Amino acid sequence: MITSLREKFILPGQDSGDNGPYFLTHSIGLMTVKGRDYLSEHYLTPWQEKGGDAWPNWMTLLDRFTGALSKLTGVREDEFAHQPNLSAGLYKYLLALPCSDDPLKIVMHASAFPSMGFVVSALPSEGYELILIPEDKPAHDPQVWEAYFDNADIALITHVHSMTGVLSPVEEIARLAKSKEVKVLVDVAQSAGLIPIHLPNWGVDAVFGSCIKWLCGGPGAGWMWVPAADLPKLTPITAGWFSHANPFEFDIRNFEFSETAKKFWDGTPSVAPYAMALGGIETVLDIGVETIRARNLELLKLARPGFDFRQNGGTLCYEAGARADKIENELKSMKARYDRRGDLIRLSLHVTITDDQANRVAALLKPA
């Protein structure tokens, strides 16, 4: 089974035989065979053969992308809007909210990926205020979050934290937030494609995702989700012909936002990233997110015997301390692709990792 799963992905160096374990999914997921093929089949070939008449093919591709997200998350495909990345989606969402007399107070955990915090900090200071939960308070504890909800308008939850691997119980935190009339936004960059997500159960106001990591779709194919019932309440500050209710009307005197999440588009969309990303999402759906997560947990337990990873995403974040250089040298000898920041070593365990490779990690991390 593992061999057949590995055949769906393109491992760096595999053609030359110079490839070791790929532990970098938390940074960028492996290219999929489908993604590579779709780039040619659905983007390059129509352009080559049809020129400007390729647009119908490309629009079909973009719709297939949101359709695949719909299958992945259990909500309507017209509730998704393509975005270049999470930060762009968050920026557009926050500025589309109804005006408030007082600054909107947005609470995040300080260990979250900083880009989303940068968005809030860069917004006009009179309209938005960033409140950070300190790093020493556990991000996965709903009671920690609840303590901040009396003084917040919006909770921005990171589903899986990239630098710690912590998995936050979104549904439980969201329920507490809603009881205090706090909006809930969720960053699923490090969880989509790894952790099963059924958005109807979450009860949140918006979700921001990317295909670059566990969805194995490469950079540039971000997305945002907003429930249909909320779309009429939001007025984007950006617009373009693709956010128009009828993009091909071409009447400069008439503009009306789309009634769907496409109102968060603006000008001509990128196409190529979504060809790659569609192949990535379809590969994940073919394998099954539950299967990917079950295999990931098996590998984590092999790599760190005795640890409970149920409150962890797919990445093993190991504080190596004085042993960091030694462990790094061993990883290099394995021809592994991995990530090190200071003394922190991060190893993602996707379905391409074998039991043997996980056991070698266990030997490396075992205290001397």
Q: Where does residue 15 rank: exposed (0-12), middle (13-18), buried (19+ CB within 10 A)?
A: exposed
Measured between alpha carbons, how far is 260 from 243 in angstroms, rounded to an integer?
A: 9
106 confidence band (pLDDT: 50, 70, 90): very high
Show me where the domains of the chain are located: 2-30+289-365, 42-283
> What pLDDT sits at residue 368?
66
121-144 pLDDT per residue, tens = 999 888 999 999 999 999 999 999
CATH code of the region 42-283: 3.40.640.10
% of the chain with per-residue pLDDT over 70 = 98
- Tell me whether strands 315-319 and 339-341 are parallel, antiparallel or unpaired: unpaired
pLDDT at 187 over 80: yes
> What pLDDT sits at residue 125?
83
325-349 pLDDT per residue, tens = 999 999 999 999 999 999 999 999 9
Cα end-to-end distance, the chain, whole Å:
34
Q: What is the mean pLDDT of the chain?
A: 95
Measured between alpha carbons, how far is 86 from 285 in angstroms, rounded to an integer?
A: 22
- Residue 366: both structure tokens together: 């075992």
Q: What would you report as the CA-atom Rg of the chain, rounded to the nearest whole angstrom?
A: 21
Q: Tell me if domain 2-30+289-365 and domain 42-283 are identical in fold.
A: no
pLDDT at 75 over 70: yes
pLDDT at 69 over 80: yes
Top mean-pLDDT range of 3-7, 158-162, 307-311: 158-162
Average pLDDT over residues 80-107: 95
Could you say which architecture CATH assigns to the domain 2-30+289-365? Alpha-Beta Complex (3.90)
Q: What is the largest CA-CA distance in the chain?
A: 73
> What pLDDT sits at residue 242?
94
> What pLDDT sits at residue 305?
94
% of the chain with per-residue pLDDT over 90 = 92
> What pLDDT sits at residue 17?
65
pLDDT at 49 over 70: yes
> What pLDDT sits at residue 16?
64
95 confidence band (pLDDT: 50, 70, 90): very high
The answer to whether the CB of 211 falls within 8 A of the CB of 221 is yes
